[in-house]
Amino acid sequence: MLQIDDMRKEDLEQVSTMEAACFSMPWSKKSFEENLNRSDAVYVVARDGDKVLGYCGAYVILNEADINQVAVEPLHRKKGVGGKMLAVLLEKLRKAGADAVTLEVRKSNEAAIALYESMGFVTEGIRKKFYEKPVEDALIMWKR
């Protein structure tokens, strides 16, 4: 049964393993642990029992939030996990005072872009050569 709740220290091993599998320049377990202790950070995980299926997080700065991580385990993609997880994150960000949310996404990541657009995000700019390994532009998306 899918549950979405706050990321906990016990989740970090699975989160960092998934991060390494999903991204060419992954965050370390220590980076996630440090973010769990930040007062301006909001992180959630999607889980089925003890298994983490996905995670996402953001920083809240005044009335804006910057989503910095979104990942779903490859076997659980296109099953609604990302949308449910992001919906919970967006509600937590709203309650934290954010009335605008931004994120960057690889220009080639059509599945993620479609998910973000379905949740009301709009492309408002491009960061040239933002990503490395491989070098690629990022779309800057906002939900206001």
In sequence order, the 6+-apart residues with CB closer than 8 A to the CB of 41 are 35, 57, 58, 59, 60
CA terminus-to-terminus distance, the chain: 32
Q: What is the pLDDT of residue 114?
A: 95
Write down the catalytic residue from 104, 110, 117, 136: 104
Could you confirm whether 43 is annotated as catalytic? no
Q: What is the pLDDT of residue 52?
A: 97
Q: What is the pLDDT of residue 59?
A: 97
Taking only the tens place, the pLDDT of each residue in 6-61 is 999 999 999 999 999 999 889 999 999 999 999 999 999 999 999 999 999 999 99
Question: Treating both helix axes as pointing N-terminal to C-terminal, what angle do 29-36 and 12-22 enclose, rounded to 10 degrees?
Answer: 130
Q: What is the pLDDT of residue 90?
A: 98
Could you confirm whether 104 is annotated as catalytic? yes
Domains of the chain by residue range:
2-143
∠70-137-130 over CA atoms, to 5°?
75
Taking only the tens place, the pLDDT of each residue in 71-91 is 999 999 999 999 999 999 999
Half-sphere exposure of 118 (CA within 13 A, CB side): 12
Residue 68 neighbours by CB distance under 10 Å: 16
Write down the catalytic residue from 116, 117, 124, 136: 116
Classify domain 2-143 at the CATH class level: alpha beta
